[in-house]
Amino acid sequence: MEAAPLQVLLIGLGQIGMGYDLALDPERHVLSHARAYSRHPGFRLCAGVDPDAGQRATFTERFGAPAYAGLEEALAHHRPDLVAVALPTALHRDAVERVLACTRPAAILCEKPLAYDIGDARAMVALCEEAGVPLYVNYIRRSDIAAIEVAQRLRTGAIAGPGIKGVCWYSKGFRHNGSHFFNLLQFWLGPMQRFHLIDAGRQLADGDAEPDVQVAFRDGTVTFLAAREEQFSHYTIELVAANGRLRYEQGGRSVLWQQAGPDPRLPAYTVLAQEPEQLATGLDRYQWHVAEHLSRALRGDAGAALCSGAEGLATLEAIDSIIQ
């Protein structure tokens, strides 16, 4: 018998909650929590929560589910299997505490980063562990098909060490956007071992910063460089391995592998292939892929590609140590 859809309560109906893809073709774009859980067969979007009456009305009209001004009111009417927290970062801890005070869902998915304050992030992870509720962090690239393929190639040696070196460009703050790529590189190269600060960079108004820093992960070393978001967004990773080069461009919308091999004109030399291999990506439907891996995890698949609360906390602790 086919399992019943898991019930989802969505807290926060802003851009990542609902707005990013409202005007986009649903067959091509799944960029918000609301669209992902309304379209994925493993879930049913049972309700939303937002203080804004206009957002609530839009949610009910577009997704056919009730929306509430307050979290406790929503939880008085629904017992969700999954709670998705899509609020501003400063409100994450309060939301998780209030959810756990009312119910024990099968899991909580929280937007990244977990918190601005490392103490709040640690408290969220501890609260969920004590309650026996798995906590996941919405680092979307962990669930993308290209990122999973790269991780598999690194594990099997198809992208080979030793001595992998890389460069990562990021913009809009190390905690805010840089953490996406730091977390992805932890997924690929293992935990941070040490770092060397090159330049402390700008201090941003929300306590974030934009350092240039060289980070030694377990399986490779990557230099992070800060671009300026006000000039243009720039998110890219280049990894140079023993047997080729990986280019993770446009935030992951283009992922290219160039295998190393003999130069056809000068066989004594080894060069990169002129025609790179284009890895399939799914970032136009990134939130659907997160939903797919959540569905698998909640049905007992230990191989689901998600960022756990503990892994999201490790990302923040590493970044915090660099910024501090």
User: Does 189 map to a domain?
Assistant: yes
User: Do 64 and 133 have their domain in common?
Assistant: yes
User: Does 124 map to a domain?
Assistant: yes
Helix (H) or strand (E) holding 167, with range, is strand 164-170
Give me the number of domains the chain comprises: 2
Q: What is the pLDDT of residue 18?
A: 98
User: Does 317 map to a domain?
Assistant: no
| CATH code where residue 23 lies | 3.40.50.720
| CATH code where residue 244 lies | 3.30.360.10
Q: What is the pLDDT of residue 1?
A: 56
Which token pair is 269? 């030399």
Expressed as residue numbers, the domain containing 225 is 145-281
C-alpha span between 48 and 13 (Å, rounded): 7
C-alpha span between 66 and 25 (Å, rounded): 23
User: Do 92 and 160 have their domain in common?
Assistant: no
User: Do 188 and 125 have their domain in common?
Assistant: no
User: Do 55 and 172 have their domain in common?
Assistant: no
* Partners of 212 in beta bridges: 199
User: Do 134 and 191 have their domain in common?
Assistant: no
User: Do 125 and 160 have their domain in common?
Assistant: no
User: Do 155 and 90 have their domain in common?
Assistant: no
User: Do 266 and 151 have their domain in common?
Assistant: yes
User: Does 319 map to a domain?
Assistant: no
User: Does 315 map to a domain?
Assistant: no
C-alpha span between 73 and 262 (Å, rounded): 66
Cβ burial of 22 (10 Å; 0-12, 13-18, 19+) is middle
* Partners of 248 in beta bridges: 237, 255
User: Do 276 and 297 have their domain in common?
Assistant: no
pLDDT in tens, the chain (324 residues): 578 999 999 999 999 999 999 999 999 999 999 999 999 999 999 999 999 999 999 999 999 999 999 999 999 999 999 999 999 999 999 999 999 999 999 999 999 999 999 999 999 999 999 999 999 999 999 999 999 999 999 999 999 988 999 999 999 999 999 999 999 999 999 999 999 999 999 999 878 999 999 999 999 999 999 999 999 999 999 999 999 999 999 999 999 999 999 998 998 899 999 999 999 999 999 999 999 999 999 999 989 999 999 999 999 999 999 998
Q: Torsion angle of alpha carbons 288, 290, 293, 295, nearest 10°?
A: -70
User: Do 17 and 130 have their domain in common?
Assistant: yes
User: Do 204 and 224 have their domain in common?
Assistant: yes
User: Does 316 map to a domain?
Assistant: no
Over the range 202-234, which residues count as b (16 or more CB within 10 Å of their CB) and which as e? eeeeeebbbbebbbebebbbbebbbbebeeeeb
**Whether 242 contacts 160, CB under 8 Å:** yes
| φ and ψ of 15, to 5 deg | -65, -55
User: Does 313 map to a domain?
Assistant: no
User: Do 275 and 156 have their domain in common?
Assistant: yes
User: Does 108 map to a domain?
Assistant: yes
